[in-house]
Structures are given as structure tokens and as C-alpha cells.
Amino acid sequence: MTVAGSAPPSGRMRSLVERGPGGPTDPRSWRSPLRGPWLTSIFAVVLLVGLPVLIVTGLLSYAAYDPALGGSNDQTPGAGLLASYIWFDWFTSPSWLYRVNQGTHVLLGIALIPLVLAKLWSVAPKLFEWPPVHSVAQALERISLLLLVGSILFLLVTGVMNIQYDYAWKFSFYTGHFYAAWVFIGAFAAHVALKLPTMIRSLRGRSLREELRTSTADTVAEPMDPDHLVSPNPAEATVSRRGALALVGGSSLTLLALSIGQSIDPLRPTALLSPRGRSYGDGPNDFQVNTTFGEIGVDPTETESSWRLRLEGPDGRSVTLRREDLLAMAMVTEELPIACVEGWSTSQVWTGVRLRELAELVGGREADSVFVESLQRGGAFSTMSLTGKQIRAAKTLLALKVNGVDLSLDHGFPARMIIPAAPGVRNTKWVQKLTFRGGS
């Protein structure tokens, strides 16, 4: 939109159109001498390395949910083309795969928060530019910036809230985060393509080593730049660029240090920012609980001697087993992690029956999938599907014990799934029925 062609505005109106309403739209009101293309580019180059890692681990995390299984697994039925990169079933080894992927995704996301905020601070005058729109190209650029800033803030906020508050909103985290990620990926790619030359030029224009040696007293504004990041009216520096970089880098490292324990068992007590970071005592069942049986409304009497596991095969054959029957089968012991989408993870030693042995009892060895049902009534995680690959993996267990003792009620007594390399949510607790489908 331009005013050319319309009647010339007069008086106050004209000054408003030409100079803007003042405040943040007035470039002279932005006075930090640190703002400029060099500092922005330093933040940008770190994000240019970090954000693609966040994107790749995020897309892999989505693939790990095997959205093609549909049903209780897939909450993004319209994903279509956006999910077309997933032409494979998720892997079943190495067993730490999802743990490392998700730990990296969440920890890196947390550590990049100060950098994203610093980057936004460094370009803030651009966001208030006046007039808001003066050409088609500039309008398109502003829209893409709005999508970029909006989507990254949405992703960081929903990611952190998912860790801290257990789904405190109406929409599904999985769906919202996935769609916002694709908005972000598009806007990020466009932004990098447009700004890469400016970034490289700006970084070449000043030496990092020199900058790190410059004291606050010697800190002056960069030369005026075509993008208007540099203040036309700079105040005296109250901090050097070195100080600003130390503040941002220090904040990132602090967040990382206070979170990393959620993914590394011996460091658990240091994860002060993680709701499931605290230590749980020394007992064999003393490790993180996602949801307790009390919260979820599992009736403990249903887990006692009357409990039965029902197996159904692809051709309708069925078998019912008591816990003693399961304990009389070949017992397998494996150390395997539980790795939640929230980023926390823990490795424990599980004992139980191979899922493929159970499949064989009802002629489901070649099944394409198994539908797992919990005693838990209702709720998103009361049922779950697993792939044929997961059925046949030697380490996929229906676990009866952990660390040598019976599972506690909170960890899924009398029996729970443990799937190697998969998201924690696949490890259904309080299992009561397994239906093997397809493949024969």
C-alpha cells in the first residue's frame, strides 16, 4: 500500500504518514550502540547451525510415531504431503536412538531460547519500521518475517509448556507443533536464502577476535547500514559486544546445565528446571513416572490375581494368560531406555516375555501391526499400535519386572510394553489385550 495517487494528506495526518506515530516507529528511539549487522549476524550464524539440527531431530521425532499406523497413534490425519518424507517404519535399533534424538531436540531447543530472543532484540527496530508497508517486495518480506517470528515463538512456547505443564491447551501438542514446524521450515528457508549474503558480508566486515578485545568504553556503533539496524542516534555503550555475547552464551549454557540431567541418569538431581528431573530414591522402581495409576484412574483390584492378558491373532485365534503363565515362559532381560517426547529419559533393566513369542501363540508372527489395550479407560494413551518391525524386534518386551523386582503399580503392573528405540509413549502400561493384525 502506498499513498501515491491519493490526495495529499494534510497537517497532522501528513506528519503521521511520513514520520510515523513516534515511539518505537521512530528509528532515533532505538539507542543501543550494539545493534548492527555484525552482532545480528553472530547470533544468526549460531542459529544457522542450531536450527537445522532442531528441524531434523523434530522431523525424525515425528517419524518415530509411525503416523502411517493411524488410529491412536496419528493425530494429524491431514498431514499428507508434509509427512511424505516418512517412507520407512521407524527403527528398532540401536535402542538409544529415540533417546538421543529427543534429548538433543529438547535440550537444544531450550538452549537456543536466549539466542532467538537476542536475535529478535537485535532486529527489533525492523519490526517497527515505518511506514509498515511501502512496496510489494517489502510487504512479502514482512509477511515472511511475521511467519518466521510467530512460528518460532509458538514452537518454543508450546515445546516448553509441553515439558512443564502436561498439555495445558485444547489442541493436540503433536498436531500444533507439527504444523507450526512446517510454517517455520518454509519461512526459515526463505529467510536464509534472502539474508545469507548479508550475513557473510557483515561477518567479514569485523573481526570477532578484535571485538572480543574491545572494552565497554571503546564500544561504538557500527557504520550505518542499508537495513537500518544501526541506531542513527546511539547512546553511550553500557556493555561491550563481548559482554552481550557472554550474557547470551552464558544464559544458554545455564539453561542447558540445569536441564541436561533429565536425559542422563547420574546427573538427574542437577535438572532443576525439569519437572521430572528430581531424584526418586534408590529403590528398583524409583525412577520417573509419567502418569501414576491414581491420576489415570486404573483400579488396583483389576491388576491383582483376576488380571488376564488376552491375545488375539490375525485369523481370530485367541489365548488368555495369567501372570503365572507369562512368568513360566522364556524370560528375557534387557537394559532399555524410556525416552519421553518431553525430552526426559532413563535407562532401566527390564525382564519379561518377547512380544514375538506372544505373537506366535496366536499365529501372529508375520503380523503387520499389533493393537495394544491398557486397563486404563479412556485417555490418549490407553491404546497404541506398534509396527510389524517392532513386533519382531528381539528386544521388544512385555515387561513384568524392572531391576529384578515386580513392576510397581505406577510403572504398569502387572505388565507393560517396552519398545527399543521408540518414543516413551509406546511403552503402554497396565496392558490387558494384544490384537495382532494382518500379515498372514
Residue ranges that bind ligand MTE, judged by CB under 6 A = 288-291, 296, 338, 340, 374, 376, 381-382, 411, 424-425, 427-430
Does residue 424 belong to the site contacting Mo ion (CB under 5 A)? yes
Residue 427: all three cell numbers together: 511403552
Size of the site for Mo ion (CB under 5 A): 4
What does 429 interact with, of Mo ion, ligand MTE, none (CB < 5 to 8 A by kind)? ligand MTE
The least distance separating ligand MTE from the CB of residue 298, rounded to whole angstroms, comes to: 8
The least distance separating Mo ion from the CB of residue 427, rounded to whole angstroms, comes to: 8
Q: 74 to 93, contacts with Mo ion by CB under 5 A? A: none
What does 338 interact with, of Mo ion, ligand MTE, none (CB < 5 to 8 A by kind)? ligand MTE
What does 199 interact with, of ligand MTE, Mo ion, none (CB < 5 to 8 A by kind)? none
Cβ closer to ligand MTE: 199 or 355? 355
DSSP H/E element including 189 = helix 173-205
What does 427 interact with, of Mo ion, ligand MTE, none (CB < 5 to 8 A by kind)? ligand MTE
Angle between helices 173-205 and 37-63 (to 10 degrees): 150
Q: Which of the stretches 74-82, 335-343, 360-368, 395-403 binds Mo ion when contact is defined by CB under 5 A?
A: 335-343
Sign of the torsion angle spanned by Cα atoms 260, 264, 269, 273: positive
What is the DSSP-derived secondary structure letter of residue 254?
Answer: H
What does 303 interact with, of Mo ion, ligand MTE, none (CB < 5 to 8 A by kind)? none
The closest of 307, 310, 337, 343 to 397, measured between CA atoms, is 337
Q: Residue 217 class from Cβ within 10 Å (0-12 exposed, 13-18 middle, 19+ buried)?
A: exposed
Q: Are strands 369-374 and 332-339 parallel, antiparallel or unpaired?
A: unpaired
Q: 264 to 293, contacts with Mo ion by CB under 5 A? A: 290
Does residue 340 belong to the site contacting Mo ion (CB under 5 A)? yes
Cβ closer to ligand MTE: 296 or 309? 296
Q: Residue 291: helix, strand or coil by DSSP?
A: coil
What does 73 interact with, of ligand MTE, Mo ion, none (CB < 5 to 8 A by kind)? none
Q: How many residues does the chain have?
A: 440
Do 191 and 148 contact (CB within 8 A), yes or no?
yes
Does residue 343 belong to the site contacting Mo ion (CB under 5 A)? no
Q: Are strands 397-402 and 309-312 parallel, antiparallel or unpaired?
A: unpaired
The least distance separating ligand MTE from the CB of residue 400, rounded to whole angstroms, comes to: 14
The closest of 427, 274, 421, 343 to 102, measured between CA atoms, is 343
Q: Which of the stretches 55-63, 115-123, 397-405, 418-426 binds Mo ion when contact is defined by CB under 5 A?
A: 418-426
The least distance separating ligand MTE from the CB of residue 154, rounded to whole angstroms, comes to: 22
Q: Which of the stretches 144-152, 180-188, 199-207, 336-344 binds Mo ion when contact is defined by CB under 5 A?
A: 336-344
Amino acid at 221: A
Cβ closer to ligand MTE: 219 or 285? 285
d(CA 165, CA 183): 24
d(CA 37, CA 199): 7
b/e code 29-55 from CB counts within 10 Å (16+ = b): ebebbbbbbbbbbbbbebbeebbeebb
The least distance separating ligand MTE from the CB of residue 398, rounded to whole angstroms, comes to: 13
What does 382 interact with, of Mo ion, ligand MTE, none (CB < 5 to 8 A by kind)? ligand MTE
Does residue 425 belong to the site contacting Mo ion (CB under 5 A)? yes
The least distance separating ligand MTE from the CB of residue 305, rounded to whole angstroms, comes to: 21
Do 367 and 347 contact (CB within 8 A), yes or no?
no
Do 361 and 311 contact (CB within 8 A), yes or no?
yes
Which positions lie near Mo ion, rule CB under 5 A?
Answer: 290, 340, 424-425
